[in-house]
Structure 1
């Protein structure tokens, strides 16, 4: 049953990632969001907004982006607004794929605000690692605590340095993939229980083919706020934060405990 959940979740993710609006250009987004507030655009792009702004200021920017996206999406055509040439998999309702497309789109913007790396290659392609990172973001949005902990550890150079005794392949095997597997199983179970069981979308209310305001505020906004809160913890990341993330992962048996003490002391 769990494998069925994972397969279903992967189908939805893959179809969502095919949507034409899914890609966020990191440089363009940062310039649009922060360009008028900094005097070194190249540094903003190279090092991220966290170099220029406090945690509180970044939180405010993330809130504005979330609110703007939620309000904007409430006025957009839902499912019927897809380009005519876009072919959705027959087994995946278009409204479901589009909702999670919006979610992953917003997840990229939130991550860029907090200094995370570009998800796309210079050729505009999404690498397998980037796709897995987006799945972890989705896990955070769905309330999987270990997904947030793994994102912070895997994106923090000092945290990875503290885990230097663990080979990268072993780290990937013991932490990265088990959590992705868990996220996909939980995601698939939610989809099956709430959406596909009766062939009707209950998680995502759709009225007259339009993305309803209730969907935004009852689903998308809380999910985005969860991601904001979790990714925001990576700013000024400390040894204490690292220890807490290790504890979260160990409680779920997804990470070996051998690591160098006194690892990260700053972001």
Structure 2
């Protein structure tokens, strides 16, 4: 793997221990109710009864918010210029890039009822326990959202495999570390190829402090926005694919 791919893969695998990488579904449900008046949600199955146009508007709002926040980070990293801007600034961009992907994947996964598992009875209230139980699915959501081939969610398959257990155990079932690592490297390889040229160009642009910050912020705004929209489109398709099975299970 390239240096960028190695760093991205490492960040994905260590996401649970990095600050600001986790969003509990109840936080997203509160956002949905506050902005789209969908009622008090407490389970992913409930989003399958919500008008899909509202869900699409909600994911658009999520992407817009992360675009703005990431662009602000880009300007801050680009503004100093000089050696610090080329080295420390580039590292900051990369971690913030992966963090935004993680946050968007979680929020969109919650909005479209993909995580936590919509076939499970309960949602873990503890953020750490919840995140540990769904981290492998979050990585898959990122991969699906970016259009990485050969990756699919196994929600119904997992449910059937664990049919002899209580439904709550589905949410706590963990895919092997080997699978998580394989998916993480696949995502890292995809992102690494996309970022390398742009990161080099950004490092050069920071030689001019103010203009460098503007270029950096503009690139961040466009890049995270494009990937966010792609992620929203692909996860919406997954929601539509699963909807008949989820409704049939709970009705």
Settle same-fold status: TM greater than 0.5. yes
| 1:235 counterpart = 2:234 | no
Please give the per-residue CA displacement for 1:121-155, whole angstroms capped at 9, x wherever unaligned: 644326555333332233234331333xx12xx12
Equivalent in the alignment of 2:58: 61
Deviation at 1:181, TM superposition (A): 4.1
| 1:124 equivalent among 119, 124, 127 | 127
| 2:94 equivalent among 80, 93, 96 | 96
Helix, strand or coil at the partner of 1:143: coil
Counterpart-to-counterpart distance in 1, 2:182 and 2:13: 19
Higher relative contact order (CA 8 A, sep 6+): 2
Alignment size in residue pairs: 220
Deviation at 1:29, TM superposition (A): 2.1
Q: Kindly report the root-mean-square deviation, in angstroms, between the aligned alpha carbons of the 2 structures.
A: 4.5
Please give the per-residue CA displacement for 1:159-196, whole angstroms capped at 9, x wherever unaligned: 546789xxxx9x969977654443333334445x4367
Equivalent in the alignment of 2:212: 207
Counterpart-to-counterpart distance in 2, 1:162 and 1:265: 16
Bigger shift: residues 53-62 or 132-141: 132-141
Q: How does 1:96-245 map to 2 (within 5 A)?
A: 96-118=94-116, 122-125=125-128, 127=131, 130-147=134-151, 150-151=152-153, 154-155=154-155, 157=156, 159-160=157-158, 178-191=182-195, 193-194=196-197, 200=203, 207-208=212-213, 212-217=217-222, 219-237=223-241
Please give the per-residue CA displacement for 1:62-82, whole angstroms capped at 9, x wherever unaligned: 1122123323443456459xx
Deviation at 1:115, TM superposition (A): 0.9
- CA separation of 1:264 and 1:108: change in aligned 2, threshold 3 A: closer
Say if 2:21 and 2:99, in contact at 8 Å, map to a contact too.
Answer: yes
TM-score in terms of structure 1 length:
0.60
Please give the per-residue CA displacement for 1:37-89, whole angstroms capped at 9, x wherever unaligned: 234x1xx2223452331223311221122123323443456459xxxxxxxxx
TM-score in terms of structure 2 length:
0.63
| 1:74 counterpart = 2:71 | yes
Say if 1:38 and 1:52, in contact at 8 Å, map to a contact too.
Answer: no
